Amino acid sequence: MQINLKNLVSMTEANQNFSKVAKMVDEDGIAVVLKNNKPRYIIVEYSKIQEDEFADNQTVEEISKKILSKHIKAFEELAK
């Protein structure tokens, strides 16, 4: 994950002006909240999380299909 420096916001600023943070997320898809000048929290658009979760499920299915096709004879023997 790449973070743009303009997406960094201090904890104080996030507490005092959350609408600014929300606008940042709407425009860039992400905001990083710093606590003691260190990245502490990431705020992302909810739909982005759903997309990533779906992509992970697709990857698992693709990998499982490859394994099954590669070792189909062994699985057929085990099924006997």
**For 35-55, how does the pLDDT look when each residue is reduced to its tens digit (9 = 90+)?**
999 999 999 888 877 666 665
Q: Which residues pair with 43 in a beta bridge?
A: 31
2 φψ region: left (φ > 0), alpha (ψ -120 to 50), beta (else) = beta
**Residues contacting 75, CB < 8 A, separation 6+:** 68
Summarised one tens digit per residue, pLDDT across range 18-32 is 999 999 999 988 899
Assigned CATH for 1-44: 3.40.1620
Neighbours of 52 (CB within 10 A): 11
Q: State yes or no: pLDDT of 63 exceeds 90.
A: no
